[in-house]
Chain A
Amino acid sequence: MSRFGPVATGLLCLLLFFAGMQALIDSGLISRYIVPPPSEILQSFGRVVMEENIGRRFLVTLSECLTAGVMITVFGVAGGVLLYRYKLLQQAVETWVAALAAAPVVLAYPLFMVIFGRNSWTIIMIGFVAALPPVILKTLEGLLGTRKVLINVGRSFNLSASQQFWKIMFPAALPSIFVGIRLGLIFALINVVGVEFLINFGGLGQLIEDLAERYDLPGTYAAICFVILVSVLFFMAVEKLERWLRPVN
């Protein structure tokens, strides 16, 4: 199979989906006042880009997600290592961290606004808190899952505790850590855009809220496409970073 095969098949599926939606809307089976036809969404891209200052909004959302992403990586991995290192702490808080992963943190936005004010830090901090648990949990899982024989190899070479961690346990846990970071980025992006929408501040979330308020549905969906673009960019960057840190799994 050609390496372009899966990409081409994916694009074909997407085109078929849009064609199907267009047909359903044109035939009146789906109301065009609820779901705009794909052709109208496509036409609205130029207008959204020219009139709504999309470049700046895109960069605002991107930088908020990037800040939250860096924070979840630093604090999440450190938290996972801490829980691995101190068993009592792990037994005490692991369930709470897992519970936090399922909590709708976004609903606590008034509290964050009181603490940080109506600015980007409220958005970043909600993204950070909501996205932290998967990184902590997957880091812990990766470290706990290091194969015993690899640890024994390290012991047989008389590795110090720090060498054992950096040369064996951390690289062995990297695939799991990256699963956590990917999950965390999804959580962060959803929450960043969600809070921008809720507090009508910042980048693409605010634009989506403005366009929805104006009942500009094609524009709203076009703005959502830019959110997807942010997500794609993040995933590509994370994949590159993972390949660099661990070339083969």
Chain B
Amino acid sequence: MLQTTRSAAADAILTAEDVAIRFETAEGPVTAVDNVSFRVRQGEFLSIIGPSGCGKSTLFNVIGGLLAQHAGTVRVGGETISGPHKSIGMVFQEESTFPWRNVVDNVAFPLELTGMPKAKRLERARHFIKMVGLGGFENRYPGELSGGMRQRVSLARTLASEPKILLMDEPFAALDEQTRLLLGDKVLQIQQHLKQTTLLITHNITEAVQMSDRILVMTYRPGKVKRIIDIDLPRPRTSDIVGSEEFGRYVAQIWNDLREEASRGLRDEEEHVLHHERGGASS
């Protein structure tokens, strides 16, 4: 057992140990995330799933180095991160393309920062644009694209920086289910082609099972690790797997874990609203 743990630790490209995040609010201190520990192996696709309010996005910010005030440590290749790390490429939930740059210039952005000559960086950018299936749209501006296409531009921009770890925070949350499944296929294809280590933050069970090697299920506030589930579905995968019996079993298993947490979240929200109403009425 000890040997297995050591070998897992040696394999790990990203390690989170006892990560805890506390906020001061008007109603007192709130623990958003409590003692979260996990490892991501080289080339692995790990999803973190949990109900709204479990601190998933806060954890995304900690791993991405955007939130410094936390307890515990996050290490990339053994190096403790204290800010944004060059090995981690982030894809955000909100639309994050630069509206003043066309597609190719958006994707070439990280290459421009490295001082790569223009011709070379445009060629590299075109390669990643093709990879996300946007060939032919190089000269369009984000305002001329759909939401799904804009998220693919963001993904291509992050991939262009060739990060060791791709960190994504619900990148397709604003899209409809069908587009989400098809874009999930695209991400899977790219991840399998590049053998890209990927950490996906999501609240969508189907998306998590469709893409992941392992799924970390979080509890509602404070967010803790409830369970880590190995997804033993064959690879290469596509969205066709959604109809399979094993897929359904994994979805049911995760929903069983999440239902109680999501219900707790709902109750908490209702109490919060009632508390505010009572507070408003008494004042």
Contact = CB atoms under 8 A, between A and B. Distances in A.
Interface string B144-174: 1000000000000000010000000000000
A156 B66 contact: yes
Interface stretch (B18-26, B87-95, B127-135): B87-95
A168 B98 contact: yes
Interface string B250-273: 000000000000000000000000
Interface string A149-171: 11011011111000100011001
Interface in A153-196: 153, 155-159, 163, 167-168, 171-172, 174
A29 B117 CA distance: 72
Nearest to A248: B141
Interface residues of A, number: 20
Contacts of A167: 109
B100 A153 contact: no
Interface in A86-119: none
A155 B66 contact: yes
Contacts of B100: 171-172, 174, 246-249
A147 interface: yes
Contact of B84 (A155, A163, A171): A155
B205 to A, nearest CB: 25
Contacts of A152: 66, 90, 92, 96
Contacts of A155: 65-66, 84
B72 interface: no
A249 B143 contact: yes
B113 interface: yes
Majority SS at the chain B contact face: loop
B51 interface: no
Contacts of B95: 149
A172 B96 CA distance: 12
Contact of B113 (A157, A246, A247): A157
A247 B64 CA distance: 32
B248 interface: no
Nearest to A147: B94
Nearest to A171: B100
A149 B86 contact: no
A247 B96 contact: no
Interface in A208-249: 246-249
A3 to B, nearest CB: 18
Contacts of B113: 157, 159, 163
Contacts of A147: 94
Given A159-B113, A163-B113, A247-B100, A153 B92 contact: yes
- Size class of the B contact interface (CB-based, 8 Å): 20 to 34
A118 to B, nearest CB: 45
Contacts of B102: 247
B104 to A, nearest CB: 13
Nearest to A163: B113
A149 B92 contact: yes
A150 B94 CA distance: 9
A150 B154 CA distance: 11
Interface string A117-158: 000000000000000000000000000000101101101111
Given A171-B98, A249-B99, A156 B144 contact: no
A248 to B, nearest CB: 4
B110 interface: yes
A149 B66 contact: no
A156 B95 CA distance: 15
Contacts of A158: 83-84, 86
Contact of A248 (B83, B99, B110, B161): B99
Interface string B222-263: 000000000000000000000000000000000000000000
A247 to B, nearest CB: 7
Contacts of B92: 149, 152-153
Given A156-B64, A156-B89, 9 more contacts: A149-B96, A152-B66, A155-B66, A156-B65, A156-B88, A172-B98, A172-B100, A248-B100, A249-B143
**5 closest cross-chain pairs (CB), A and B:** A248-B141, A156-B90, A149-B94, A171-B100, A246-B100
7 contacts: A152-B90, A155-B84, A157-B113, A157-B161, A172-B98, A246-B100, A249-B99
Interface of A: 147, 149-150, 152-153, 155-159, 163, 167-168, 171-172, 174, 246-249
